[in-house]
Amino acid sequence: MRLAPLEEQVVVVVGASSGIGRETAVRLARRGARVVVSARSRGGLDDVVEEIGSEGGKALAHEADVADPAQMEALAARAVDVHGRVDTWVHAAAVAAYASFLDTTPEEFRAIVEVNLLGAANGARAALPRLREQGGALIVVSSMEARRAMPLHSAYAASKHGIDGMLEALRVELAHDGIPVSVTNILPGVIDTPLFDQARTKIGVVPTGPPPPYDPGVVADAICFAAEHPARDLVVGGAAQVQLVGQRLSPRLMDLFALVAGFATQRTDEPQGVEAPDNLDGPLEEVRSARGHFGRTRTRSVWTRFDRQRQRGVDAAFGALAGVAAPLGRRLAKDGAGAEA
């Protein structure tokens, strides 16, 4: 599977009005890609288009809600109508609530799953018919919590675990059918975005994340890499990788770590009640930044850089192996169906 250089690509970025999506759209445009940006916030989209244009880049805004399959289909159709094709589809839209499971209402739980998990599925369903025509990349930003949940995040972690499972199944199905679409799961640790400031909170204060926080540019660079190099998973941040390794080695030990450190490290000293504005039911138009409240962050990750290089070799080897295995799998399925008949 070969992916085109970014300067030759049309890239759709969903969730581009703020946070990781916004930083990704800006960096893609700097690399020469033609970018289609989408989110629920029209003001945020216009703002990022203006920023990209001020640097000489090209971007088209299309307002859409990921929870609505028809709106995702319209977004994909618009990208093709304007640019003729879609080469890469990036899903970076997400919402969150900070509350215990018992304090999370069924409506709140459903809203988070609809945006984070079903939204990613709606986007993939709209994107894949366009990507399969000439090949391309489907990139979804999940989270380290796709594999190791933190307390106070039951709905968020459930939605991210769901993304991980969906992409695993989808990746194999595409390989089986010989469809040249790379499927990448981006798993960031704590990133300095407005997600924390926009989240619904029932813990009495503005939430935050366990240190160390990373700049959203570190995630954006990983996404840009995946748009040009087929990669299965990219963990962003050494701290996230340490937790994922710990989860594989001893889930009970990670339970203990979360019990000891998982509550205090997610609290700021700034009071905030549940009545404060959040983006769970709709966008906060005034939030138009890629970055949040952390201030000092890490702007590079040694692990992430190493992981990108590792992926080059590993994915090339397994890509060649998949080229042999997929026809064999189809033959076995055909033989099995014949035997049943």
Write down the domain spans for the chain: 6-312
Residue 328 CB-density burial (10 A; 0-12 exposed, 13-18 middle, 19+ buried): exposed
Decide which of 328 and 145 is more confident: 145
Reported as a single tens digit per residue, the pLDDT across 35-81 is 999 999 999 999 999 999 999 998 999 999 999 999 999 999 999 99
pLDDT 10s digits, 276-305: 999 999 999 989 999 999 988 988 777 676
Average pLDDT over residues 225-247: 96
What does the alpha-carbon distance between residue 289 and residue 319 come to, in Å, rounded to a whole number? 37
| Per-residue DSSP letter, 213 | P
Average pLDDT over residues 3-15: 98
Sign of CA dihedral 66, 69, 72, 78: negative
> 6-312: which CATH topology?
Rossmann fold (3.40.50)
pLDDT of residue 269: 95
Check residue 296 and give its pLDDT.
Answer: 85
Q: Is residue 204 very low, low, confident or very high in pLDDT (cuts 50, 70, 90)?
A: very high
Residue 102 has pLDDT above 90, yes or no: yes
* Residue 103, burial from CB neighbour count under 10 angstroms (0-12, 13-18, 19+): middle
pLDDT at 8 over 70: yes
User: Which residues does 171 contact at the CB level (< 8 Å), separation at least 6?
Assistant: 183, 232
**pLDDT, mean of residues 182-197:** 97
Q: Out of 84-93, 262-271, 323-332, which region has the weakest mean confidence (pLDDT)?
A: 323-332
Per-residue confidence (pLDDT) for residue 188, from 0 to 100:
98
Range list of β-strands (E), the chain: 10-14, 34-39, 58-63, 88-91, 97-98, 136-141, 181-188, 200-201, 205-207, 233-236, 267-271
The rounded mean pLDDT for the chain is 92
Residues marked active site are found at 156
What's the whole-number mean pLDDT along residues 235-261?
96
Contacts of 16 (CB under 8 A, 6+ apart): 22, 24, 25, 37, 38, 39, 44, 45, 48, 92
pLDDT at site 196: 96
Query: Which run of H or of E encompasses 25?
Result: helix 19-30
CA dihedral 139, 212, 17, 3 (to 10 degrees): -20
Could you tell me if 188 and 86 are in contact, meaning their C-beta atoms sit under 8 angstroms apart?
no
Give the pLDDT confidence of 170-179 residue by residue, as tens digits.
999 999 999 9
Count the helices and strands in the chain (H runs, E runs). 11, 11
How far apart CA 118 and CA 124 sit, in angstroms, is 10
The confidence score (pLDDT) of residue 3 equals 97
C-alpha 267/C-alpha 283 separation (Å) is 23
pLDDT category at 322 given cuts 50, 70, 90 is low
Whole-Å CA distances, 6 to 20, 32, 166, 226: 18, 6, 26, 10
Reply yes or no on whether the pLDDT at 248 is more than 60: yes
Least confident of 65-69, 155-159, 162-166, 310-314: 310-314
Residue 115, pLDDT > 70, answer: yes
Residue type, 269: D
DSSP codes joined into one string, 85-101: --SEEEE-----EES-T
Q: Smallest Cα–Cα separation from 130: which of 70, 77, 202, 182?
A: 77
Structure tokens at 250: 């001893």
pLDDT at residue 303 in the model:
65
Global pTM reads 0.90
